Amino acid sequence: MKTILTIVLTAVFSVAWAQSNSAIIHTEQMQQAVERGAIIWDVRGEKSYLEGHLPGAINIGEIGSVLRDPNKEDYIATEQIQKIFNAAGLDVNQEIVVYGARGNPYAYFGLYTINYFGGKKAQIYHGGVDAWRQAGLPIQKERQSLPPVSVALVTQSQLVVNNEEMLKLTQSKSVQIIDARTPDEFTGKDVRAIRGGHIPNAINIPFEENWQDPATAIKLGKKQVGDNSGMALKNQADLKKLYANLDPDKETVVYCQSGVRASETAVILKTLGFKKVKVYESSWLGWGNNLKAPVADETFLNVGALNAKMAAMQNKINQLEEALKNKNN
């Protein structure tokens, strides 16, 4: 039986949701969601989840591996995703808050997934488990579960763009296209499909530019910083400046390599008041591998050179393994 407090909190949330356009929440709001009994979805891998997660959070494994085809990196069949969600008690019709590590675009991909399959009350905790720990809030290590549900997933095609639609949209002057990849990917220096480059007329705004310090991931790799605090979101004013040259009233399509990084940018654009934002689902994997699709700054993947590098690396590994074996003997 629901307590009066629970009923009041639920009512307050409903009013707040109706009045707010933001799907991105902060630590205090995350605490309130946990207290309300919202579904908390941790999209990280099982190992990270069991090392520590938010109270009551459920986990179905690393979202990028569980819900996507390993080659195309598109969604697996909706029927399969429906079975996974229902078994986990992940009811898209209920209030859901998605999180991962701070700034991890896969958390935004989780939010976009909920919306794509019909969810209306999903939010994201950008700070994730890192901000929660830094606030000194309790962490659980035991696996949490919810009762199974039986909910039919209904895809919302208006939120995404497929390959055929993207070919048509590139010919329209009324559409603005954002490439959320790195500058090297955009210019074709970093080739991650048959071809490198970018969709003609696309504007390159890497998704890391949404962070307070876009270079945080690089600095972490070089051990120049001790944590990922720089991955916190820019404030609203700075985000508006970042996208100031775009028209919020125009149709806006965001893409990256496979739609994950694009999801973060798409959600942020919506919080800034952009009215019609879509994610190009197949993104560069779909475009770069389609030889009929026009490419700006076009480069090609040298498969022979790549195979040679891989063979050389394997040879070095074999030599190291042989050396270790001889040393142990």
Give the residue carrying structure tokens 């009512």: 11
Residues in the chain: 329
Is residue 256 annotated as a catalytic residue, yes or no? yes
What is the amino acid identity at position 52?
G
> Cβ(179)–Cβ(296) under 8 Å?
no
Q: What is the C-alpha separation between 276 and 62, in angstroms, rounded?
A: 29
Angstrom CA distances, 153 to 80, 118, 119, 121, 255, stand at 10, 7, 9, 15, 24
76 token code pair? 């697996």
Could you tell me which of 202, 178, 199 has the C-alpha nearest to residue 264? 178
78: closest CA among 96, 61, 92? 92
Q: Are 182 and 292 in contact (CB under 8 A)?
A: no
Contact in structure between 205 and 239 (CB atoms under 8 Å): no
Euclidean distance between CA atoms 116 and 113, whole angstroms = 5
HEC states along 232-253? CECCHHHHHHHCCCCCCCCEEE
Catalytic residue among 88, 256, 268, 285: 256
Backbone conformation region of residue 118, classed left if phi is above 0, alpha if psi is from -120 to 50, else beta: left
Judge whether 279 and 105 are in contact, CB under 8 Å: no
Helix (H) or strand (E) holding 328: helix 303-328
Task: Tell me which residues are annotated as active site.
Answer: 256
